[in-house]
Structure 1
Amino acid sequence: MQADTIIFDLDGTLVDSAGDLTASLNHALSVLGRPAIDPASVRAMVGHGARKLLERGLAATGGMTPDLVEAGVRPFLDYYGANIAAHTRPFEGVEDTLALLAGQGLRLAVCTNKPVALAEQLVAELGWASRFDALLGADSRPFRKPDPRHLTDTLEAAGGRRAIFVGDSRTDAETALAARVPLVLVSFGYSTEPVESLGADHVIGHFPDLLPAVGHIQRQFTASTAADGA
């Protein structure tokens, strides 16, 4: 049985949101009396949700305490929600690749550690409101990536039976491994380490390269099924 669903991480995989996340973090830091952080440094902090981003931003600008994080969460989220797609855009080739995958009859879904309301808002503002069969965010369940249930529940919500996961980070790699789901990692995302070291089935440097990667994994599924039936 081949995969019938392709599940994607959002930030750093489908979209380059670093500009808007940087602006939102720096707004919250300013409210807390901290200096701004340059965009390149913020890119290396993204991937574990708003609270973790704030923790890292505070640690880099003079020290983090739980009270400071709590004080910064609302300014961050309010600013981000008001400016969520000011600079965020799909990576090159994403639009056409999603259309081609859907044209092959594959279900498409998103599994992200962004709060679900913000993820849904961003997807809608990018014109993707009807593109995905399911979208689960950090607060859609009592658990989130790297807990494999976040991924398997996304598959279930999409109505699929077998998935391929596409991400950009160690968190995504650990999630796929624990869920026993084939993994494609993009090399242009927000990983702080070489994604080639994370055990993906395929690493792609351009989003359209996802199509042959998916084709290769599907052929492996077919060969495995044939071998099991021999």
Structure 2
Amino acid sequence: MREERLRFRTVVFDLDGTLADSSPDLAAALNVALARLGRAPQPLAEVRTMIGYGARAMLRRGLEVTGGADDALMAAGFRVLIDHYTAHICDATQPYAGVDDALTALADQGIALAVCTNKPRGLAVQLIGALGWAKRFAAVIGGDSLPVAKPDPAPLHLAIERAGGGPAAMVGDSIIDIRTAIAAGVHSVAVSFGFADRPADELGADRVIDSFAGLIPALAEL
């Protein structure tokens, strides 16, 4: 990884689909909930398109494509989904290649690292710990940390503030992340290997990378 010096003091990452491929464990939890409600399981490729707005939104999408959703089904399925996911949060989840090297390279420059995700904060902290990153991040902001979630810019602003402030950049995989960065007035880098519902070069990010080996060079250009 090249040794460009960066002007950023904080880099904020999305979690699911950006730092780690959590789709197998999320799909398993969703399918357990769907099965409990008598619905058909959904293939992994389909579930990947449902991830990004949080667990409730994922469940609602799963119900909608298998026969329809209502408040009673949501209430019945959500607890099943969360209980299963909490117990199996890192059975098959894997960091993307090069993540640890990229995080180390940023930290070696004195750059603070943070996570801003629509996952509930408790689950985000649990997954980060399971991946061995408990001491990596100065701040972890979840979808329930504020009354609003991404793409509202407030969670990103809070993540930057709690990590120490300064010039910041956002790294994410979806239109949600890039819209959040734009709304917050910070630079953005999109990864092309996450759960996006469209090609990465259509997300509107300042830069697109195909692997974490490209993160430092991309940030150096901003």
Category of TM-score, reference length = shorter chain:
over 0.9
Mapped pair 1:81 → 2:80: no
- Cα distance in 2 for partners of 1:198, 1:192 equals 9
Per-residue deviation, 1:75:
0.3
- Measure how far apart 1:141 and its partner are: 1.1
Structure 1 residue runs without a partner (length 5+) = 218-230
- Structure 1 match to 2:124: 119
Q: Which amino acid aligns with 1:139?
A: D
Q: Does 1:106 align with 2:111?
A: yes
Q: Deviations over 1:112-139 (max 9, x none)?
A: 0000000000000111000000000001
Q: For residue 32 of structure 1, report the CA deviation from its aligned partner.
A: 0.7
Q: How far apart, in 1, do the equivalents of 2:136 and 2:122 lie?
A: 16
- How far did residue 2 of structure 1 move? 2.8
- The whole-number CA distance in structure 1 between the counterparts of 2:129 and 2:103 is 15
Aligned counterparts of 2:11 and 2:159: Cα–Cα separation in 1: 10
2:39 is the counterpart of 1:31? no
The CA distance in 1 between the partners of 2:101 and 2:115, in whole Å, is 17
**Which protein has the bigger helix share?**
1
> What is the TM-score with the length of structure 2 in the denominator?
0.96
Identity of aligned residues (%): 52
SS of 2:208's equivalent in the other structure is strand
Q: Once superposed, which parts of structure 1, at least 4 consecutive aligned residues long, lie more than 3 Å away?
A: none
Radius of gyration: which is bigger?
1
Aligned position for 1:222? none
1:67 alignment counterpart: 72
Unmatched tracts of structure 2, length 5 or more = 1-5
> Which of 176, 180, 183 is 2:181 aligned to?
176
RMSD (CA atoms): 1.0
Q: How many residues are matched? A: 217
Alignment partner, residue 223 of structure 1: none
Deviation at 1:140, TM superposition (A): 0.8
Q: Using the alignment, how far apart are the partners of 2:9 and 2:75 within structure 1?
A: 41
Three-state SS of the structure 2 residue aligned to 1:109 is strand
Helix, strand or coil at the partner of 2:114: strand
- Cα distance, 1:159 vs structure 2: 1.2
Match of 1:130 in 2: 135
Q: Does the CA contact (< 8 Å) of 2:98 and 2:213 recur in 1?
A: yes
Give 1:62 shift.
Answer: 1.1
